[in-house]
Amino acid sequence: MMVMVIKLGLATTMRLQDRRTRWSFVNALIPYKGQLSGGHPAKALCWADTDTERRKLGERMGLDTPLVLALRTLVQSHKAFNAELESINNVFPPVAITDAAPSKLIHKNERACREDTSKRRSFGSRAFKDGEKPSLSFNQDRNASCKFSTLKLVLIIIILGACFTLLHSPAVYNTERPSQSGSRASLVERWINENSPTNDEGYVSHLKVNWNHVSGIIQNLPDTNEYRGIGLLNFDATEIDQWKEILPDAEHISLHLDPVTKTITWEDLYPEWIDEEEDFDVPLCPKLPDIEAPKTPRIDLVAVKLPCLKARDWSRDVARLHLQLAVARLAAKSKGHRLVRVLLVTDCLPIPNLFTCKDLVVHKGNVWLYELDLNKLREKVQLPVGSCELSVPLNAKDYRYSGNPKREAYATILHSAHIYVCGAIAAAQSIRMSGSTRDLVILVDNTISDYHREGLEAAGWKVHTIERIRNPKAEKDAYNEFNYSKFRLWQLTDYDKIIFIDADLLILRNIDFLFEMPEITATGNNATLFNSGVMVVEPSNCTFKLLMDHINIIESYNGGDQGYLNEIFTWWHRIPKHMNFLKHFWEGDEEEKKEMKTRLFGSDPPVLYVLHYLGLKPWLCFRDYDCNWNVAKIQEFASDVAHARWWKVHDAMPENLHKYCLLRSKQKAALEWDRREAEKANYSDGHWRIKINDTRLKTCFEEFCFWESMLWHWGETNWTDNGTANAQPPPVTVALPAL
């Protein structure tokens, strides 16, 4: 046993061929010096009187009994050990170094041992003077043992050298065939298990595996008799033995995954801002280590046990994400189209857009079995690990994505908001102007009149009537009461991919290439979150069910659908903000920044892909200027250049669609009220001075057209405009005096 250990140590340690590497190895052992020469149990191995004592000490150190007894044998044999030491000295020539040399380390250890023995002798003498009977043979045995302190340290260096080399080799794994002998694991195997990510606090899963569920699921698979290899990650030795009982004919590979450094947080993977333009730096994501698996045997099933700390934000846990990505990457390496199954053991929901419900074979208790679409999986795992890098380059050349046009569509939704009909018509016009021929699908509820539906259909939208979904945490009649209706997008299963767009934006450049991207692809919002105004989704009835199952549980940070979706889809892919550029100026923006945004709003040919109109919408303002200027709280959304751009698209629409963008009488009154308030405040921008030439001011399509009279009672709480609630065709033109 001992000869084998020494040979192993020599063979592996000699692999550290250059001086720097060898000295790094020695430095790695320096922290153990105090343990070996101080009060650590390792020193007592050569002092113990009986084999029983040695075995107990060895167990505390994690050493096999045969190795402990071999240490005893070697200590008792001076000649054999001195001969081995001499051969070792011949192998390691002196190395010139600036720090403390290994020989000094050994000499210091010897001095510490002598000083320790001297102290013990002094203590023994005092005890004898107090009348206690000294044990001379015990002290003599210790003295003899300390003479070999140097030899013990060298031996431990050799053993640790072997383990050091194994742990830092490119792949650390343990391949075992099922064994009926029940023999104890080797030292190297135990070392690997002790250094697996399960010993990293963030990776530890204390979940109790229901082996009946696992066994039942595995036994129902049709081809387990053909399994060659089972990859196991984050399971302990006892659990691996359970796997061997379930699948006794396959090889069981105990996979090793180096944990991510604890300094990496979720905010590092999903930062609020990255330098997309690369003005100062190139954004790079932290590297998450991969599993290094053997080339043989072929792995047919990968299983992993995931942590789930429900006391904190478990869905934004770096270790949990790392384990799932590592398993997905390993499965994606499978050659060809051979089926690879992934089994997750977790009490918490797996990443729903990595391990999709469409790929879920069975879910029982805390066991989830997936048969993955390897082509889609390979595309996903090649993307950045988080939003710390762009998944689509900012300056990529325009190209026409072919894909599968019949299975891809743009979609938006209107619920309880007929005032957005004009915006949706303009959005459809912009998509066609960008060159896209994909289907346009719009979801509407029964509050959208037949008149407005006709306009949407004329613009190219395929109208789908839906039942609204109420947000159970919203107040009655609040703006967000029915915004969970957006979940209906996942019921559009006639399509494989949907690019959702809000109805208040324009597509300035073709974005069909986003159909290549997986769910969820979007621009960043605040903190670690994405903006749901433009996003790629993959319709699925089971994902819709997932969203519905948690509406009474999950809290939305903003009370709306965006906050809710961010709690479900915490793994998302960042696209440049030019693909959902907000019409907005921050209060602290320098003039140079404001000028840059203004140039982007008006550039021709366009630089931006998508322009998203925040604040009061262009079709709800006079076309002469952006009416956001007249309200102090929303001046940050004001841009005459962006405003004019929207009207340019409006004017390109067929004439018969213009009537859906007319102003209602109440809206005219509201605009005039805001203008008068801006005049009273004497706003410095001066927009309130501009004479209104918008012909819509003189056009009325409602029964009540004398909108100026509304200003007499404007602001009174008991005033209503029920007479103007519904628009009816055809429009009637009435001449009114100009303001």
Render pLDDT for 509-530 as a digit per residue (tens, 0 to 9): 999 999 999 999 999 998 899 9
Tell me the pTM: 0.72
Give pLDDT, residue 122: 37
Tokens at 729, concatenated: 């065709």
Angle at 531 between CA 527 and CA 537, to 5 degrees: 130
Q: What is the pLDDT of residue 41?
A: 44
**Eight-class DSSP state of 692:** P
Burial of 29 (0-12, 13-18, 19+ CB in 10 A): middle
- Residue 164: predicted pLDDT: 54
Cα→Cα distances 648→198, 260, 412, 510, 620, Å: 60, 51, 22, 17, 15
**pLDDT higher at 148 or 681:** 681
Average pLDDT over residues 607-612: 97
Mean pLDDT check: name the lowest of 132-136, 437-441, 473-477. Answer: 132-136
Write down the residue that tokens 């398993």 correspond to.
327
For the stretch 65-96, pLDDT in tens is 545 444 544 444 444 445 444 544 444 444 44
Which of 290-299, 469-478, 591-600 reaches the highest mean pLDDT?
A: 591-600
Q: Is the pLDDT of residue 481 over 80?
A: yes
Task: Please state which CATH number belongs to domain 174-381.
Answer: 3.40.50
* Share of residues in the chain with pLDDT > 90 (%): 57
238-277 pLDDT, tens digit per residue, is 999 999 999 999 999 999 999 999 899 999 999 999 999 9
Tens digit of each residue's pLDDT (9 = 90 or more) over 26-35: 344 334 333 3
Determine the pLDDT at residue 152.
61
In this predicted structure, what is the pLDDT of residue 395?
75
| Measured distance CA(268)–CA(18) in Å, rounded | 36
- Residues 410-420: tens digit of each pLDDT: 999 998 778 99
Q: Is 396 exposed, middle or buried (0-12, 13-18, 19+ CB in 10 A)?
A: exposed
Q: What's the confidence (pLDDT) of residue 182? A: 38
pLDDT of residue 138: 33
Residue-wise pLDDT for 99-117, tens only, equals 443 444 334 444 443 444 4
Closest of 162, 124, 156, 169 to residue 142, by C-alpha: 124
Average pLDDT, the chain: 79
Give 466's pLDDT tier (boundaries 50, 70, 90): very high
CA atoms of 44 and 40, how far apart (whole Å): 8
- 11, 32, 163, 202: which is closest to 88 by C-alpha? 11
Q: What is the mean pLDDT of residues 683-709?
A: 91
Query: What whole-number distance in Å separates Cα of residue 452 and Cα of residue 458?
Result: 10
Q: Which stretch of 2-11, 49-58, 387-396 has the lowest confidence by average pLDDT? A: 2-11
pLDDT of residue 738: 35
The yes-or-no verdict on residue 458 having pLDDT over 50 is yes
Per domain, the residue ranges of the chain are: 2-167, 174-381, 405-661, 662-739
User: Would you state the pLDDT for residue 314?
Assistant: 87
What value does the mean pLDDT take over residues 117-145?
38
Q: Which amino acid is at 239?
A: E
Average of pLDDT values for 312-335? Answer: 93
Which residues on adjacent β-strands are paired with residue 499? 410, 536
pLDDT at residue 337 in the model: 72
Q: 405-661 has which CATH code? A: 3.90.550.10
| Better-scored residue on pLDDT, 704 or 121 | 704
Q: Look at residue 40 and tell me whether its pLDDT is greater than 60.
A: no
And the tokens for 34? 């105090």
Is a pLDDT exceeding 70 seen at residue 98? no
CA distances from 37 to 57, 75, 260, 420 (A): 16, 16, 33, 79
DSSP annotation of 300: E
- Residue 7 pLDDT > 90, yes or no? no
Question: What pLDDT score does 452 carry?
Answer: 95
Phi-psi region of 477 (alpha: psi -120 to 50; beta: other; left: phi over 0): left
Instruction: State mean pLDDT over 441-447.
Output: 95
* pLDDT (tens digit per residue) in 154-209: 667 766 665 555 544 443 334 343 333 333 344 434 444 444 554 578 899 999 99
- Max mean pLDDT among 66-70, 121-125, 599-603, 724-728 falls in 599-603
pLDDT at 48: 52
Query: 174-381 with 405-661: one CATH topology?
Result: no
